[in-house]
Structure formats: structure tokens, C-alpha cells
Structure 1
């Protein structure tokens, strides 16, 4: 079943309204099992995370383990057309290493069947290099 632009935008608006409250569960629940999340750039975090399990275990868990406080975002704008939804937002959280992680983002979602199928993240790569420790190597890396 093809969802409308308005339905896709409403899904992403719900995800980000929850993220703005510090609740990431709506985001996790919205991911398709075979979702792909690509972090652009050349940081140690930059790559495509394939599948909901990899997104949780290789990206979200090690990232949030570095934060010294709950992460809360601030959504600024949501723009939608067909199956694509673009979100501009920011967040600010101290890391356990005592650094400030005040990041601005642009997420480009592709929604399929009411689930997040693809997500491309554009972000401040210099800040990531400065504020975060590199993630552990993926389990399948050899």
C-alpha cells in the first residue's frame, strides 16, 4: 500500500516530536527490518548501516553510550514530497569525555509501507571527529 506524502510526513513528524522529548523509541519502532542508514562524510562513523539490528547495535548503542545526559533534539523544519521526507534539526548534549556535542543535522528519509526504509544523514563531520570517539569495528569487519 502506497502512503501519501501527508502520511509519510506525519510519520516523520511523530518520530521527531518524540525525539524532541528525548524518546527514541518511536524512531526505532518506525524502522523497517531491512532499513539502511547512511552517514555521509569520511568520519569513522560514516558508512551505511544495513538493517535495523545493525543500526541499533553498531550506530545507536555505541553513540549514545558516549553521552553524559539524555539526548534531546530540536526539530526546525520538515519538508515532504512523495516518499521522501527531509528534516532539519539540532541537538546538544555533553559527552562523558567532557566535550560538547552540539550538532545540526539534515535527515533525508525514504518511507515505504509506513516504515523508514532509507535514511541519509548529513551532519558536521568536523564536530564528530572532535567530540566523539570512533565506534567499535562492525562485527562483520575482517
Structure 2
């Protein structure tokens, strides 16, 4: 299946630019069955999750239940063959502490034939972890 130039970028863009529900549906549709999703060391959900169920439970359900207004806003996308990078800013308020954060991130995706095989997160985790700590 030959994809046109920019097709992978559009698949990834569709996981960020709609409503949370649309983004989630688009992500699930794009994940390969054994997709690997790696959250950065130092991030609250650090580790590698394999498969849609593990990714949803280990990352997205936690983001939805532990944070208020959590967002990943992308300002730039780049495509290089089967790799797509998204650069942006996370924001949200951690419910347990009431503390807000803003942190720069980069997500690097590897795709094949329109399916996400892997995602690796790079993030300023210190800014996120600060929100997890109770105010002094």
C-alpha cells in the first residue's frame, strides 16, 4: 500500500487537532496491534506500553482521571519518510495537588503503511513533576 508524501503526517495531525474524543478515535484507528508507546523517564507514566489496551490504560485513562484540563498542543510537525515528529506544550492541573504546569514536549512516531508502530516521548519532565508535588 503506497502512501502519498504527507500521509503519515496527516495521520498524526489527526490525533492532536480535534476534540479529545476525535483525537482518541483517530489514535485507536492508527495504532498497529503491537504498537509501542514509550513515555519518558521522569514522566509520571514512564515506561513502554505495548498494544492499544495497555496504552489507553497506562497513559490516556490516567491523564483523564488524574488531571484537569490536560492538553497537548502542537505547534510544529515534521515528516521524514516513515517518521513524524510533533513538537508542542503540555498543560494541565494535577487534581491531587491543584498545581498547574506547562512543559515542552516532542513526540517521535514511527509508522508503516498508515499505522503507528511506535511513539517515543521527550519532555521537560521537571515541569510536570513539580505539579505533582504539594505546594510548600
Q: Same fold (TM over 0.5)?
A: yes
- Structure-1 separation of matches of 2:39 and 2:2: 27
1:79 maps to what in 2? 78
Contact kept? 1:4, 1:82, Cα under 8 Å: no
User: Aligned pair 1:95/2:94, yes or no?
Assistant: yes
Contact 1:66-1:132 at 8 Å conserved across structures: no
1:51 shift after superposition: 1.1
Q: Aligned partners of 1:50 and 1:81: how far apart in 2?
A: 24
Deviation at 1:99, TM superposition (A): 1.1
5 Å-filtered alignment, 1:104-119, equals: 104-119=104-119
Does the 8 A contact of 1:31 with 1:117 survive in 2? yes
Alpha carbons of structure 1 residues 99 and 28: separation in structure 2 relative to 1, 3 Å:
farther
Segments of 4+ moved more than 4 angstroms: none
Give the TM-score normalised by structure 1: 0.79
How far, CA to CA, are the matches of 2:32 and 2:73 in structure 1? Answer: 24
Whether the aligned pair in 2 keeps the contact of 1:5 and 1:83 (CA below 8 Å) is no
Question: Match for residue 139 of structure 1?
Answer: none
Q: Following superposition of structure 1 onto structure 2, how do residues 4-23 of structure 1 map, counting pairs within 5 Å?
A: 4-18=4-18, 21-23=19-21
Counterpart of 1:138?
A: none
Q: Secondary structure at the match of 2:17?
A: helix
Count of residues paired in the alignment: 130
Q: Distance in 1 between matches of 2:57 and 2:119?
A: 16
Describe the shift of the 1:79–1:43 C-alpha distance in structure 2 as closer, same or farther (beyond 3 A).
closer
Structure 2, unaligned runs of 5 or more: none
The answer for unaligned runs of 5 or more in structure 1 is 134-142
State the Cα RMSD in Å. Answer: 2.0
Instruction: Give the conservation status (yes or no) of the 8 Å contact 2:93–2:131.
Output: no
Evaluate the alpha carbon distance shift between residue 10 and residue 50 of structure 1 in structure 2; reply closer, same or farther with a 3 A threshold: same
